[in-house]
A and B are shown apart, each in its own frame.
Chain A
Amino acid sequence: MSRFFRQAGDSDSESSESEDELMSSEDEAPPKPSTAAKPAMSRFLRTAGSDSSDSSSEEEESESDSDDHTHREEADEEESDEEDRPQIRILSAVDKRLKEMEATGKVMENALKINDWMAISNEFDKLVRMIQRQQNLSEPVPAFYIRTLVNLESSMNASNAKALTAMKQKIKKAVKEYETEVRKYQEDPETFERDYLNLVSRDVTPATVTQPTRSGAGIATDQVDEFTTVGKGGKAMQFTSESIFKNLQAVQEARGKKNTDRAEQIRILELLLDVANTSYQRIRVLLALISSRFDYNSSVSSHMPTELWLAAQREVDQLVSIVAADHNYSIQEMTDDYDELVERSPTTEKGVVRIRGSIISFIDRLDDEFTRSLQNIDPHGTEYKVLYCTICRAQAFYEKTSQTEPLGRVVMRRLEHIYCKPDAVVQALEAAADTSEVKPEMTLAKQKTTSGLVHALCVYLYKSGNSLLRTRAMLSHIYHHALHNDFYAARDMLLMSHLQESIHSADVATQILYNRTVVQLGLCAFRSGLIKEAQGTLQDIFTTQRVKELLAQGVHQQRFQVMTPEQEKAEKQRQLPFHMHINTELLEAAFLVSSMLVEIPLLASIESEEQKRKVISKPFRRLLDFADRQVFTGPPESTRDHIMQASKALQDGDWEKCRDLIQSIKIWSLMPEAAAVKEMLAKRIQEQGLRTYLFTYAPHYSTLSLSLLSRTFSLPLRTVTSIVSKMIWNEELSASLDQSGGVVVFQRIELTRSQQLAQVISDKVAAMVEQNEKTLDMRLGGTAWGERTDGTKTEKRGEQAQERRGRGERVRGARGGARGRGARFSQGLGNQMPSGQRGQ
């Protein structure tokens, strides 16, 4: 340690010794304190320090001599390279920026004199960007920028068509941004400038000191867009606007090669971007820069560092705004060959300059990287907005240039970002997007509601030819409907799309989206109190017991087979980022509760073992059986415990306990409108409790007063009558109402053993014939024979007495899925079975 401190001290003293050395110590000053705490770094640091001081002093001596640096040892150089980079960048950036800004200002002034607003506009853009960067580094806004603003604003009265109006808007925006400064300046320009100088000299004394040093050293910083830095291998690379294309080509050639230092490449490109001064150059450099940023980490599994991502995002933005602002340039995936080394401009190309590249793929990539990073790190808010703005901007751009294919993709991306969000989030996103200068055609402001926005986006995609996009748009649209509790619209759309038939052949991502949509639809039905629908919808996905995997919210561990690493990796990639997750626990709660409400009355209505096999919800039954087997049941802890105990309470007719248990489940709080949902559940529990009670205890009563029932279940008398009537009508309950007495009269017939057996055997024979028919049906492909059976069935149905009317439907129901549940009941369990078995 001591050695290190001495070393640090040395360099300090060195710097005070001579003015030449001052610059190098300036180089070193910032990183030292921060790294001083890390003893392990000290060795690097020392060498690094000496290195760069060496290099700068050498440069001082002879600029042309720089080739000599090659003789250094490789290791040393690598280290220095790593350490050097940020420092050099900071240093060169600080003074260069200022100079550059001033130069820009000058150009603008000149242009102002000759009234060339096109040039002013371009220069101003540049200036604004530079100021932006300045702010990012939390450096004060230079006074001359404000001055320029004020000057420009005051001289805005000239008339030069488009460029002028564009400029006017820009100025207005900028002025607004720096309102206070501008006012201060207008009051007293001199003081303002002085203030600024004071501020700067206090803050950036070192920088101002360096400036003369550097110019004195003869490095070519006099010219605005030209400076020298030490490239890899000690070669001095000259970045000038003339040599941009050469450098670009060099970088592109190096791209993809094995031992190319990607970070180095990015750095070079960044520098190139700084010196690029025509739109064409900028576009070219940006294209290369963005792709190399995406190249930065090659491995598929890891995600892009956030800073890199942000930088890439900014650059894509920049690219889009350049292309959008200047119609003479267009970026296309297919272009004619052109000489990469020649500067091109609208005048040389006679019209539109086409440049090879693809913005849409950048945006796709940006989005993908974003998702990937969300999979790995905590969700964060601001990037989200930024990304959304970028997408909107790109959409606006494509709309303007009317390129349909990428526009479809961009719209899809945008849709994917908003379809699963609640209104508030979408509004926030849209508000952020609204602030950008270019707006796409479809905005929240225009469509009023988020549903309107989603609708507009979807309708656009429906019209586009791409069937994959259409499918996904459709699913997103349905999802959105479901999210907004618009169950019928969502269901109708889903059914009319006929997606359920073709979804098996779709790609995995779409299947996941489909699953998500179906699940959301189930939740929607649950929220709107359509218990049976909710149960039916969620059933499919829960019977697989792989909910998480199907929704891409977690990797499934298979017990008996091991996944290959590739499979696992693919699986991991598919996972959705956290903010898009549908809470599986909530989902399970909704499913189990709706299963309970459907299943418990059914269980109560069933007397024989035989019929017990007919199960609606297998997972629920399994849980219930498991809960039944337990010797001791403690107070409920998990959601499942709650529901199981509630089910038992419901079976016993204790609806109040059931209700309390269900309502005390904590997970409901995650559901929007939790209070309303709870209320709805309480009502359903009352009704189903009444039904269960009637089924269970009917054998023990000969009459039951309706008013008693209404009191016990605290339901209005009318509802009770209605429920009982319904059960009688559907022949679930063999009873009738006595209106004058206000009671239900139960009827029972005791069957003898032989009668009972006769019934069982007739049932079985019928079942056998049915089974035969079904088997033959399948054998023959269900065409000719199927029609015939249908024919016989309808005929049969006609002939059968009313008591048996559910049968034909049951057959159809068995084929068509879970349909016609009521028909199950009407098979005649009501009055024919012996009552002795009921109590169980």
Chain B
Amino acid sequence: MADHDLSKTIIPYLDRHLSFPLLAHLAEINLYPKEEVQQAQYELAKGTNMADYAVSLFEQIYPGKEVPTEFDEKRKNVVEKNERLQQEAQAVLDVIENPDVAQALRQDKNQNLQYLKDNYNLTLEQITALYNFGQFQYSYGNYSGAADYLYHFRVLSTDNDLNTSAHWGKLASDILTGSWESALEELNTLRDTIDSRSPASLLASASASANNLPDPALSQLHSRTWLAHWSLFVYFNHPQGRTLLLETFLSPTYLNTIQTSCPWILRYLAAAAILSRKAAAGVGAAAAPISSRVRHAIREVVKVIQTEEYQYADPVTSFLKELYIEFDFEAAQRELSLAEEVVGNDFFLNEFKDEFLDNARYLISEAYCRIHQKIDIANLSERLNLSQEEGEKWIVNRIRETRMGADARIDLENNVIEINRPPLPVYQTVIEKTRQLAVRTQALGVAIARSGSQGAAAAQPQTTKPDAAIQTVAVN
């Protein structure tokens, strides 16, 4: 099963500290030899300031051996540095935590800075101390402290780069402390920052490419890739996470990112699409806020999986492919049993294993029933990896709880389900077709009225546009 394990692919896109949970998970599931995983953990810890943790890991790996002295030194250094930085930061913190100051602070950062400088003699350098201390705390594992300091820093600082960096730091800290709500908030703001950078940098891109600087578009792609990986932590832990994941990853920009730089994310996309099936298909009108994107997630995901098939395939994606592209139910069933194992072993997905299985079964039965008229229960149970008894129970439940119930009947004598779907009446299709027309026409009218009021002067260049469009078509 190790060949479907994504830890190795994902870890390069994660922060050092974020990798610890992943490795801990790997140590639990025995996919790799335990020693190797421990070795990896040790190597990872060595690079951080968490000297104690590294030492304990070292002792685990080499039980009898002497702990290298470098850790002692390191520890000492860390403690010293910690104190120094804390003193620096404390000065700022004292000022900020003063209730008078808290009240005096406004939205405008520049104004705030000026205010702090005038009244408390607080300069930008001192505020940067907050950042340094936060970063340092993060590096030795005090994540909640780090989150605090970085938050304060961000409120005050005007430095764009450091702010973004603080954003990332805060997100990581929130993830590691497990405060998913704030992590989600952080994630969203960070996403906005990354996205909003594009229009400004578009102008710069022309000059940048001439100067041989790293292309802003490229760096944006990089940050998006990173964000996609980090967000997995949040999305698979936050209660609303799966639908939000679909919402984010199916937006064109992130879909592009996934397709170009990290196709393996498709596994999580596919899994999320399957998991959120109920939310999508379920309560219908009651779940109105769910966007169409999520509603048709599976269809969209299948499309992407099909186009990216040559780049990436694993049991989860091929399950969807077999089911919705090939309609090969046997193969789908086979893939499902493989996928079950993969999901069970995956760090992000393992908690959702049962839910995943349940939903996947539902998808199979739905597709199967739509295509078939008369179904042998034994056969269907087999398709769903269930015994006949279980299968019957399961199917009955399905029929009861979904709208399928209206059309399907179980014939116990022959042990078959008969599905009778009356074709859609003609008048209904006509109504469907014409329903929206009035609204759309109104919208047209509004648009015309608005453009008319914009003035005739603007109309002149606009009328030339259709010609241009036609020309390009002709040339094509």
Does A pair with B? yes
Distance between Cα atoms of A127 and B212 in the complex (Å): 49
- List the B side residues contacting A382 at CB < 8 Å: none
Cβ A780 vs Cβ B451 within 8 A: yes
Q: Chain B's nearest CB lies how many Å from the CB of A559? A: 19
Cβ A729 vs Cβ B327 within 8 A: yes
B residues with CB within 8 A of A: 260, 291-293, 295-296, 299, 310-311, 324-328, 330, 367, 370-376, 379, 414, 416, 419, 421, 423-424, 426-427, 429-430, 432-437, 439-441, 443-444, 447-448, 451, 462-463, 465-466, 469, 472, 475-476
Cβ A729 vs Cβ B432 within 8 A: no
Cβ A739 vs Cβ B447 within 8 A: no
Q: Known contacts A488-B310, A740-B416, A772-B441; decide if A728 and B432 are in contact (CB<8 Å).
A: no
Q: Known contacts A729-B367, A769-B440, A776-B448; decide if A794 and B292 are in contact (CB<8 Å).
A: yes
| 22 A–B pairs (Cβ distance < 8 Å), ordered by A | A488-B310, A722-B328, A725-B327, A726-B327, A729-B324, A729-B370, A736-B373, A739-B372, A739-B374, A755-B427, A762-B430, A769-B437, A779-B451, A780-B447, A781-B462, A794-B291, A794-B293, A797-B292, A798-B291, A798-B295, A804-B432, A832-B429
- List the A side residues contacting B472 at CB < 8 Å: 504
A778 at the interface (CB under 8 A from B): yes
Closest to A726 in B: B327
- List the B side residues contacting A739 at CB < 8 Å: 372, 374-376, 379
Which among A624-632, A661-669, A785-793 touches the partner chain? A785-793
Cβ B376 vs Cβ A740 within 8 A: yes
Q: Known contacts A758-B430, A778-B465, A803-B429; decide if A773 and B292 are in contact (CB<8 Å).
A: no
Cβ B327 vs Cβ A496 within 8 A: no
- List the A side residues contacting B465 at CB < 8 Å: 778-779, 781
Cβ B436 vs Cβ A796 within 8 A: yes
Distance between Cα atoms of A334 and B463 in the complex (Å): 51
Q: A736-771: which residues lie under 8 A (CB-CB) from chain B? A: 736-741, 745, 747, 749, 751, 755, 758-759, 762-763, 765-766, 769
Cβ A737 vs Cβ B373 within 8 A: yes
A831's partner among B311, B423, B448 (CB-CB below 8 A) is: B423
Closest to B370 in A: A729
Q: Chain A's nearest CB lies how many Å from the CB of B256? A: 10
Cβ A759 vs Cβ B426 within 8 A: yes
Cβ A779 vs Cβ B440 within 8 A: no
- List the B side residues contacting A799 at CB < 8 Å: 435-436
- List the B side residues contacting A772 at CB < 8 Å: 441, 444
Distance between Cα atoms of A745 and B437 in the complex (Å): 36
Cβ A736 vs Cβ B310 within 8 A: no
- List the B side residues contacting A751 at CB < 8 Å: 426
Cβ A765 vs Cβ B451 within 8 A: no
Closest to A463 in B: B212
Q: Known contacts A496-B260, A766-B433, A769-B441; decide if A738 and B466 are in contact (CB<8 Å).
A: no
A121 at the interface (CB under 8 A from B): no
- List the B side residues contacting A758 at CB < 8 Å: 426-427, 430
Q: Chain A's nearest CB lies how many Å from the CB of B460? A: 12
Q: A-B pairs with CB below 8 Å: how many?
A: 135
Cβ A736 vs Cβ B372 within 8 A: yes
- List the A side residues contacting B434 at CB < 8 Å: 762, 765-766
Closest to B463 in A: A779
Interface string of A359-382 (1 = CB under 8 A from B): 000000000000000000000000
Distance between Cα atoms of A180 and B101 in the complex (Å): 100
A569 at the interface (CB under 8 A from B): no
Chain A to chain B: the 6 pairs with minimum beta-carbon distance, closest first: A725-B327, A736-B373, A798-B292, A762-B433, A755-B426, A778-B466
Q: Chain B's nearest CB lies how many Å from the CB of A830? A: 9
Interface centre among B427, B432, B462 (most CB of A within 10 A): B432
Interface string of A711-747 (1 = CB under 8 A from B): 0000000100110011011000010111111000101
Q: Chain B's nearest CB lies how many Å from the CB of A241? A: 49
With an 8 Å Cβ cutoff, the count of chain A residues facing the other chain is 55
Closest to B299 in A: A805
Q: Known contacts A496-B260, A729-B327, A729-B370; decide if A788 and B429 are in contact (CB<8 Å).
A: no
Cβ A737 vs Cβ B371 within 8 A: yes
Cβ A776 vs Cβ B447 within 8 A: yes
A105 at the interface (CB under 8 A from B): no
Distance between Cα atoms of A367 and B379 in the complex (Å): 70
Interface centre among A779, A796, A797, A831 (most CB of B within 10 A): A779
A801 at the interface (CB under 8 A from B): yes
Distance between Cα atoms of A229 and B444 in the complex (Å): 91
Interface centre among B293, B327, B419, B472 (most CB of A within 10 A): B327
B444's partner among A776, A801, A804 (CB-CB below 8 A) is: A776
- List the A side residues contacting B299 at CB < 8 Å: 805
Cβ A488 vs Cβ B371 within 8 A: no
Distance between Cα atoms of A766 and B447 in the complex (Å): 19
B423's partner among A734, A797, A798 (CB-CB below 8 A) is: A734
Cβ A738 vs Cβ B327 within 8 A: no
A803's partner among B371, B414, B424, B430 (CB-CB below 8 A) is: B424
Distance between Cα atoms of A828 and B433 in the complex (Å): 11
Closest to A772 in B: B444
Cβ A488 vs Cβ B311 within 8 A: yes
Distance between Cα atoms of A96 and B58 in the complex (Å): 85
Extra inter-chain contacts (6) besides given A792-B439, A828-B429, CB under 8 Å:
A762-B429, A763-B433, A785-B451, A797-B296, A801-B424, A803-B424
- List the A side residues contacting B426 at CB < 8 Å: 749, 751, 755, 758-759, 832
Q: Chain B's nearest CB lies how many Å from the CB of A108? A: 51
Q: Known contacts A769-B441, A772-B441; decide if A738 and B372 are in contact (CB<8 Å).
A: yes
A17 at the interface (CB under 8 A from B): no
A609 at the interface (CB under 8 A from B): no
Cβ A773 vs Cβ B444 within 8 A: yes
A343 at the interface (CB under 8 A from B): no
- List the A side residues contacting B421 at CB < 8 Å: 736
- List the B side residues contacting A611 at CB < 8 Å: none
Closest to B466 in A: A778
Cβ B374 vs Cβ A728 within 8 A: no
Cβ A725 vs Cβ B440 within 8 A: no
Q: Chain A's nearest CB lies how many Å from the CB of B144? A: 41
Q: Chain A's nearest CB lies how many Å from the CB of B384? A: 14
A800's partner among B379, B430, B432 (CB-CB below 8 A) is: B432
- List the B side residues contacting A736 at CB < 8 Å: 371-373, 419, 421
Q: Known contacts A762-B433, A804-B432; decide if A778 and B423 are in contact (CB<8 Å).
A: no
A795 at the interface (CB under 8 A from B): yes
A63 at the interface (CB under 8 A from B): no
Cβ A778 vs Cβ B469 within 8 A: yes
Distance between Cα atoms of A353 and B466 in the complex (Å): 61
Cβ A780 vs Cβ B462 within 8 A: yes
Q: A787-840: which residues lie under 8 A (CB-CB) from chain B? A: 788-789, 792, 794-801, 803-805, 828, 831-832
Cβ A741 vs Cβ B374 within 8 A: yes
- List the B side residues contacting A766 at CB < 8 Å: 433-434, 437
B292's partner among A721, A726, A795 (CB-CB below 8 A) is: A795
- List the B side residues contacting A82 at CB < 8 Å: none
Q: Chain B's nearest CB lies how many Å from the CB of A492? A: 8
A405 at the interface (CB under 8 A from B): no
- List the A side residues contacting B324 at CB < 8 Å: 729
Q: Known contacts A736-B373, A749-B423, A780-B451; decide if A718 and B429 are in contact (CB<8 Å).
A: no
Distance between Cα atoms of A766 and B327 in the complex (Å): 33
Cβ A773 vs Cβ B440 within 8 A: yes
Distance between Cα atoms of A36 and B421 in the complex (Å): 100
Q: Known contacts A765-B437, A776-B448, A780-B451; decide if A792 and B443 are in contact (CB<8 Å).
A: yes
Cβ A738 vs Cβ B475 within 8 A: no
